[in-house]
């Protein structure tokens, strides 16, 4: 049963990917624990880039429209997906959301996954890149405890660095765990709240776009 579900998911994901590529849209599956700051980070990016990078957002949550409402203050291209009891997004959620987005008007699509460090990792949505988000208040052990998100992510973000002075967090241990699990992963440290480091994240996204055009 599980194999069939995954196979059906992969077929839909491939179609999503084709559709996004045909429109020239780079897509990022943003994964992380509930409360690590995924929505705040998207807001910070939207506030920074303006019309130079046209961004759409698919926001996944079990319940409520709250993320879409927050993001709608900065983007006209946002779709909320409510999964009910579903612990992760699947390709069919993204397919349904793409039907409601004008891809021709976008350069970048953030797919904000359901807040969960575990279940989203195994599901291809059709994204170009998976980005994993950790937070400084979540503890320095979270990479080691969640190896699969580290292994599958092209970029790992450490958010909430503005709170580092107020919590115990061993940066060296955290970075060591990441590099041991995924030597190819890039790591950026930032704060969606203060904006520190967000420009570097935007720059990373632009580089990914240019690499794909070339």
Task: Tell me which of 6, 72, 151, 163 binds a copy of itself, using CB under 8 A.
Answer: 163
- How far is Cα 130 from Cα 141, in angstroms, rounded to an integer? 20
Instruction: Show contacts with a copy of itself in window 182-201 (CB under 8 A).
Output: 193
How many C-beta atoms surround the C-beta of residue 204 within 10 A? 16
Which residues on adjacent β-strands are paired with residue 60?
81
**Are the C-beta atoms of residues 161 and 191 closer than 8 Å to each other?**
yes
Task: Tell me which of 20, 68, 160, 187 binds a copy of itself, using CB under 8 A.
Answer: 160
Contacts (Cβ under 8 Å, ≥6 apart) of 169: 136, 139, 140
Instruction: Show contacts with a copy of itself in window 2-61 (CB under 8 A).
Output: 33-36, 61
Going from the C-alpha of 146 to that of each of 62, 154, 178, 194, the distances in angstroms are: 21, 15, 10, 27
Task: Tell me which of 144, 154, 175, 202 binds a copy of itself, using CB under 8 A.
Answer: 144
Min dist. Cβ of residue 98 to a copy of itself (A): 23
Q: Which is nearer to a copy of itself, 108 or 123 (CB)?
A: 123
Q: Which is nearer to a copy of itself, 91 or 114 (CB)?
A: 114
DSSP E strand boundaries for the chain: 26-32, 55-61, 78-82, 108-112, 129-135, 155-159, 186-189
Site for a copy of itself contains 62 (CB under 8 A): yes
Q: Which is nearer to a copy of itself, 14 or 87 (CB)?
A: 87
Residues in the site for a copy of itself, rule: CB under 8 A?
Answer: 1, 33-36, 61-64, 66, 85, 87, 114-119, 122, 134-135, 137-139, 141-142, 144-148, 160, 162-163, 166-168, 193
């Amino acid at each position: 049963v599980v194999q069939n579900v995954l196979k059906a998911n992969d077929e839909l994901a491939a179609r999503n990917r084709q559709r996004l590529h045909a429109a020239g849209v780079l897509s990022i599956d943003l994964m992380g624990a509930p409360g690590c700051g995924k929505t705040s980070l998207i807001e910070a990016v939207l506030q920074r880039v303006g019309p130079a990078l046209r961004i759409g957002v698919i926001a996944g949550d079990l319940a409520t429209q709250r993320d879409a409402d927050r993001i709608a203050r900065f983007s006209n291209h946002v779709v909320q997906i409510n999964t009910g009891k579903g612990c992760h997004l699947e390709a069919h959620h993204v397919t349904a959301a793409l039907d409601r987005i004008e891809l021709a008007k976008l350069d970048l699509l953030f797919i904000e996954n359901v807040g969960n460090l575990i279940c989203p990792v195994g599901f291809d949505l059709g994204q170009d890149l998976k980005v994993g988000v950790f937070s400084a208040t979540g503890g320095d052990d979270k990479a080691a405890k969640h190896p699969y998100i580290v292994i599958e992510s092209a970029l790992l973000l450490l958010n909430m660095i503005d709170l580092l002075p107020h919590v115990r967090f061993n940066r060296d241990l955290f970075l060591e765990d990441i590099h041991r699990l995924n030597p190819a992963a890039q790591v950026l440290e930032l704060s969606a709240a203060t904006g520190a480091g967000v420009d570097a994240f935007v720059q990373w996204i632009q580089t990914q776009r240019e690499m794909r055009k070339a």
